[in-house]
Amino acid sequence: MSIRDEQAHEAASMYYLQGHTMEEVARHLGVSRSSVSRLLAYARESGLVRISVAASPGARGTLAGRIHELFGVTTSVVPVRDVDTDVNRLTNVARVAAERLLDLMEPQAVLGIAWGNTTAEVTRFLPHVAFPGSTVVQLNGAANASQSGLPYADAIISQAAEAFGSRMVHFPVPAFFDYADTKQALWRERSIRKVLRIIDSATVALFGVGSLSSNLPSHVYSGGFLDPEELARARADGVVGDVCTVLIREDGSTDMELNRRASGPTPAVLQRIPRRLCVVAGSSKALPLLGALRAGVATDLVLDDGAARTLLDLAHASPLRPSTMGR
């Protein structure tokens, strides 16, 4: 540890564990009160100190409890002020989701991450806590007709890998292939099969949901991954959004031609991952979230209270027989 690390550790121990005031810590260390404040901030940012709020027990009748009863997912509902912007809403949800993800990690874990605006924000708030022998793998390809997508996906994957001291595994394929036959041929390549095997061994997954009508445009639909004609056909086919760039309908079904060209994991593949954290901010994503939950892709969910209320309203307005969920 550096001298700064040692000072931050001592300041944090005195302040958080022993109950000393900042003034008392400052006198003990022989520094100013503002220096103590900076040391405590550094302790939180570097992972020396972790402050977390336990997940809600999801009591019957609460938003979290009602979502758990309907979909069987462990749910954290983040209260967000109505006056907050969509960006602030995402920031507040992402902070809580980062703590939830930390709870799911352990040494030797294999964390699969699907790129997107939401997961980019979550990884930005991850504290630095090392998990020896862990791996972070990209769940879906990021290239499109005009760009490789590597810088965008790499920024997300590398942030998580740096925070957890993990090795990185990229998935160098398109988000959507032009032809399903091309995907099938590439899936036989040894280099791609190696990545697919790592994805199959994942113990934790982190992803959001993309929406065709979100207030914050999903990168899948704003980044040129599908042309206007393809998007029009998707809407006509009942698509409301996507999970890991696999298009999904409100009833949770994904059986469509475009998905034969998608590189992301299907709901069936995701379901083999023991813990799957879905993160959603904003009521405009409640409809694709409903489809995602009906597809059974999540075991854990973090969302804001507005999205939670809209999700429950939608679920009750269009009930689905249990036998059709997760198909």
> What are the pLDDT digits (tens) for 151-184?
789 999 999 999 999 999 999 999 999 999 999 9
Query: What confidence score (pLDDT) does residue 69 get?
Result: 93
Q: What is the DSSP string of 126-150?
A: ------TT-EEEE-S--B-SS---H
Token pair, residue 55, equals 């997940």
Which range of 43-47, 54-58, 232-236 scores highest in mean pLDDT? It is 232-236
The fold of 3-46 is: Arc Repressor Mutant, subunit A (1.10.10)
Give 91-150 pLDDT, tens digit per residue: 999 999 999 999 999 999 999 999 999 999 999 999 888 999 999 999 999 887 666 666
Residue in the structure block whose two tokens are 């294999």 = 110
**CA pair distance 214, 277, nearest whole angstrom:** 20
Residue 181 parent element (H or E): helix 180-186
- The secondary structure element, H or E, covering residue 191 is helix 190-200
DSSP state of 218: -
**pLDDT value for 132:** 95
Asked if 243 and 140 count as a contact pair (C-beta separation under 8 A), the reply is no
Pairwise CA distance, residues 244 & 277, whole Å: 12
Q: Where are the domains of the chain?
A: 3-46, 63-324
What 3-state DSSP class applies to 211? strand
Only one residue has tokens 């059974």, namely 296
- Please count the CA atoms within 13 angstroms of the CA of 251 that sit on its side-chain side: 11
Question: Which residue's entry shows tokens 């309907």?
Answer: 70
CATH topology of domain 63-324: Rossmann fold (3.40.50)
Euclidean distance between the first and the last CA atom of the chain, given in angstroms as a whole number:
51
